[in-house]
Amino acid sequence: MILEALGYNPAKDFKLKYLGYNPSAGALQNGRIVGMNIPAGLPASAVTQAYAILGSEGMRILDFTERQLEAVNSEYAVWKRAILEPGTYPGQDKPVRTISQSNLLIVHEDVGEDQIYKIVKNMYDNLPFLRQVHRATEKMSVESALEGLSVPLHPGVQRYYREQGLSIPSHLLLK
């Protein structure tokens, strides 16, 4: 989707390999591939592994311009600006202007409102604990919860966010 939005035809323009995260890092390190897509929370171990071996001279994370960000959001507005601060990865000494996507917790619509409300409330009530478990939760907040979302919110989530004072855009309401 990203490559097509940037004007590429992935099937024709690239010889794609479908590998896991660490196999991708290994293939990049031994020259079997020239790039990898690792959608993961920071820091992603596969990217850390590749940087540790190749260094900033042997690889780099691609920057995205504002125009490119607009292009990848043209069909589905799910991407947002992300800045990888220097030192996010070994040997990465400059900030990288890339893109990120929100993590989603997806449930079937039949799951009860009270159940989902309690799950979401517990997640936010326990953010200090979650931040000790994974760095990806460091930027997680109620205030930024609606950024990059493109699918309707479950009624239990809507209830919790409204209690927190959020105004939910119409495209995130179930019809």
Residue ending a domain, choose from 101, 121, 142 = 101
What domain range includes position 11? 2-101
Cα separation, 94 vs 155, in Å, equals 42
Q: Are residues 95 and 141 in the same domain?
A: no
Total of domains in the chain: 2
Tell me: the pLDDT tens digits for 157-170?
Answer: 999 999 999 999 99
Shared domain for 12 and 72, answered yes or no, is yes
Q: Is the pLDDT reported for residue 151 higher than 90?
A: no
Residue 153 has what DSSP assignment? Answer: P
**Is the pTM above the cut of 0.85?**
no
Residue 107 lies in a domain: no
Between 166 and 56, where is the model more confident?
Answer: 166
Q: What is the mean pLDDT of residues 11-24?
A: 94
The stretch 126-132 carries a mean pLDDT of 94
The stretch 40-51 carries a mean pLDDT of 89
Q: State yes or no: pLDDT of 116 exceeds 90.
A: yes
DSSP line for 100-149: EE-------TTS-HHHHHHHHHHHHHTHHHHHHH-GGGGG--STTTTTT-
pLDDT of residue 160: 98
Over range 48-53, report the average pLDDT: 91
Domain boundary pick from 76, 101, 126: 101
Looking at residue 172, its pLDDT comes to: 92
CA distance 73 to 68: 9
Pairwise CA distance, residues 154 & 173, whole Å: 8
